[in-house]
Amino acid sequence: MKILAHRGYWNNEIERNSYQALETALKNGYGFESDIRDYKGELVISHDMPNENSFKVEKIFKILSEYKNELCFAINIKADGLNDELLKLLSRYEISNYFTFDMSLPQMIEYKDAGLQYYTRQSEYEKDCLLYEKAAGVWIDGFISEEWITEDLIKQHQANGKKVCIVSPDLHGREYNLFWEKLINFKINFNELFLCTDYPDKAKNFFSSIIEG
């Protein structure tokens, strides 16, 4: 299993998506999920509407490249029209350990056609995974509950050659321990599984027996 630190490694929510939070995630051995938008013609890290304080994506790509693709960047696409510039930056810094997700369907088609790695989505509201055939993986997100996330579901995706990233219940403000206890007992390929969580250290300790070395 590989752990993704949701919006970086932070202790206070105000630190989320900051350069320090993303850099600290890498320094602690975690890949991360973060959000990108555009601001005045450049890509920036921002979950909500960006402003002059939003830092440039290129800044984090520079440090990410130092890790030689050991750690993954899950790129949450928050706006249309970013694919050309994103592809340029990924190529410039030779970033291959990444995936994009959450873009609109028309944009997903463009990302697919451009050869960008993307994950399709599955949730209570998205039972059919769009553009599944060419997707590198599936982003599984239980907005209301995680009861429907089963061993058989993950096995089927993995049998189809897809990686899987599961959104931990804590991202939706729910208790996560019971789900983690269920997940650790699944008979699945944990080397092809990501868990995105606000608590990367707790997840690392809990899943220590199956963490990819």
pLDDT for the residue numbered 212: 58
| DSSP 3-state of 202 | helix
pLDDT tens, N- to C-terminus, the chain (213 residues): 999 999 999 998 889 999 999 999 999 999 999 999 999 999 999 999 999 999 999 999 999 999 999 999 999 999 999 999 999 999 999 999 999 999 999 999 999 999 999 999 999 999 999 999 999 999 999 999 999 999 999 999 999 999 999 999 999 999 999 999 999 999 999 999 999 999 999 999 999 988 854
pLDDT for the residue numbered 62: 95
Q: Note if the pTM is more than 0.75.
A: yes
Dig out the tokens for 85 from the structure: 């510039």
The answer to whether the Cα torsion of 80, 170, 201, 153 is positive or negative is negative
DSSP sequence for 138-200: EEEE-SS-STT--HHHHHHHHHTT-EEEEEPGGGGT---HHHHHHHTT--S-GGGEEEEES-H
pLDDT for the residue numbered 213: 45
- Cβ atoms 43, 74 nearer than 8 A: no
Dig out the tokens for 188 from the structure: 């699945």
Separation CA 92–CA 194 (nearest Å) = 26
- Cβ atoms 33, 69 nearer than 8 A: no
Query: 182: burial class by Cβ within 10 Å (0-12, 13-18, 19+)?
Result: middle
